[in-house]
Structure 1
């Protein structure tokens, strides 16, 4: 292979790596997982075309949100070690390229979701709007940005239910509530880990503005609310979405893992425990979605 060919391959690999970073490929896939899980919970018969459309549309929706986010925060990203190597702060992507990707993803994503049904596209549009026009600007103003950001962050799980049923009822509402409460222990753990870096960029995302026990109390409160919301379906008051008692016990015990690390964080206030709390929250939201699906197919 000639030097020219090697350079072209390296350039192509860099472009694709930056593309994944701009659209946060890993995060987008986790959102797609949540949306498909919500669909499987609701669907009476599985339509693989709908799953494919939901997956592609969901990925484009989240990719667009992340691209817009990085366009808005390109100057701030230069200030943080975690973000300074992103494609926009380094100049590997220019604004026109990033904007083209963001706008194209928005149009294509919402168009694909619209082919499933209008409500799915509507919630997709709301998610992009809130993340880009509310959460992102508020990050530099108030810790309440996390609360605002929890709304678009909670949409994917219920989006799958809406895609399957073309309606937003109590079932979709419960899925929304679960992912909404989950945002707080998860993102406050991340905020705890990156607190010093965020302060350099003018962001203060912790509920009490600093790493202290009052902030951890907030984490514990939302964790308890998360656990309770997750087992509500066992009482069979949530429409067609219900779970067996044994499933509720498994979910409750899984939630206690987050609670355990939250209590540990209250005691030691260390980054190491905050990281374990963050990882426990990721495990929890993934595990309960799988558990719900298994439970549904055992009915």
Structure 2
């Protein structure tokens, strides 16, 4: 592959352009999608902390580092593959590959090297099952979500959301070597949290996705339908978060936190649903409720998993 990048020509056509910029350390870090990685690492850490049996701190640190590096590897490969559509989307055009600061071939090689290293170290430092789970999460994100679903179906983020739900499962398996009900419930919580989280973003970024030809739900089904889907998934998510409490897997600390946080999520989803719109379904408030819901959803998952960890560790 030549050292070139994809850019948008004045006429709207996507063309190849020679790579001229010099990458910095921050550019290579940006390939790893550090903001996304933060949430991935935290949910993986919770899975590790609440697993029975415990783990030596050094091995635990190695496991979390492998989850972080594996997530970053998947992000780097995603940026390599999506460089053409990233170039025409305002919020992604300044990423290091479409902006010409890192060659596509270098981004791909970097991502593959990190993926292989993270899986091998995870398997050696903890157990083969954890290494296999980490490999499965990377492969799912790259091949199922990025290469297969993202450009083909508006359900891309629903099915592809499974990739982001792996970390607590991986953290648990790193300690125990096997699956159990608790990590599967945590997996399900993240799986059902992903659509309302991401569709809130898609509501105010739908112009970008339409320009790039990505069939996100607001582009294909419309803005009104997306608001309804956010509400419906939230109505499924909130009762699901109470399942650990109902099953005795968590105590009152988590139960009260899940109720309070869930109420906040329902309110934010309701505000998105009832947002003032014009005849075409476009927000008259510049998608303020959707932006607020997106920000709250991040805080929500952090707080929910933190409450689960505190509850289990204190209990």
- What TM-score does the superposition give when structure 1 sets the normalisation length? 0.90
Describe how 1:75-86 pairs up with structure 2 within 5 A.
75-86=84-95
- Within the candidate set 207, 215, 227, 1:196 is matched to 207
Whole-Å Cα distance in 1 between the matches of residues 176 and 38 of structure 2?
A: 22
Q: How does 1:198-237 map to 2 (within 5 A)?
A: 198-206=209-217, 209-236=220-247
**Aligned to 1:22, which of 21, 31, 37?**
31
Report the counterpart of residue 7 of structure 1 in structure 2. Answer: none
Distance in 1 (CA, whole Å) between partners of 2:108 and 2:138 is 14
- Among candidates 266, 275, 286, match of residue 273 of structure 2: 266
The answer on 1:287 being equivalent to 2:298 is: no
- Kept in 1, the 8 Å contact 2:137–2:163? The answer is yes
Classify the secondary structure of the residue corresponding to 1:90: coil
Count of residues paired in the alignment: 284
| Residues in 1 aligned to 2:55 and 2:144: alpha-carbon distance in whole angstroms | 35
Alpha carbons 1:158, 1:172 under 8 Å: kept:
yes
CA shift at 1:260, angstroms? 0.4
Residue 121 (str. 1) matches residue 131 (str. 2): yes
Q: CA deviation at 1:54?
A: 1.4
Counterpart of 1:50 in structure 2 is 59
Asked if residue 111 in structure 1 is aligned to residue 105 in structure 2, the reply is no
- Over 3 Å counting, the alpha-carbon distance change for 1:80 and 1:212 in structure 2 is closer
* Cα-to-partner distance string for 1:254-280 (whole Å, 9 max, x where unaligned): 011111011111111541110111111
**8 Å CA contact retained: 2:133, 2:170:** yes
Structure 2: distance between partners of 1:246 and 1:27: 27
Q: For 1:243-263, what per-residue CA distance to the aligned partner results, in whole angstroms no more than 9, with x for missing partners?
A: 224531221110111110111
Extract unaligned runs of 5+ from structure 1: 1-10
Query: Relative to total residues, which structure has the larger helix share, 1 or 2?
Result: 1
Judge which range, 41-50 or 287-296, deviates more: 41-50
Kept in 1, the 8 Å contact 2:209–2:219? The answer is no
Preserved CA contact (<8 Å) 2:50 2:172: yes
Question: Given the superposition, is the C-alpha separation of residues 63 and 247 from structure 1 closer, same or farther in structure 2, using an over 3 Å criterion?
Answer: closer
* Alpha-carbon separation, structure 2, partners of 1:297 and 1:216: 37
Residues 17-166 of structure 1 aligned to structure 2 (within 5 Å): 17-115=26-124, 116-137=126-147, 138-166=149-177
Q: Secondary structure of the residue that 1:154 maps to in structure 2? A: helix
CA RMSD of aligned residues (A): 1.8
Confirm or deny: 8 A CA contact 2:252 2:311 kept in the other structure.
no
Ranges of 4+ aligned residues in structure 1 off by more than 4 Å: none
1:196, 1:275 → 2: CA distance? 15
Pairwise CA distance, 1:46:
4.2
8 Å CA contact 1:114, 1:121 repeated in 2? yes
Deviation for aligned residue 1:208: 7.6
* Cα deviation digits, residues 132-151 of structure 1 (max 9, x gap): 11111321221111122111
Q: Which residue of 1 aligns with 2:9?
A: none
Task: Provide closer, same or farther for how the CA distance between residues 196 and 298 of structure 1 changes in structure 2, counting only shifts above 3 A.
Answer: same
* CA–CA separation in structure 2 for the residues paired with 1:179 and 1:109: 22
1:256 corresponding residue in structure 2? 263
**Quick one: distance in 1 between partners of 2:290 and 2:250?**
31
Residue matched to 1:5:
none
Q: SS of the counterpart of 2:207?
A: helix
| CA-CA distance at 1:64 after TM superposition | 1.0
> Unaligned 5+ residue runs, structure 2?
1-20, 277-282
Q: Could you say what secondary structure the match of 1:222 adopts?
A: helix
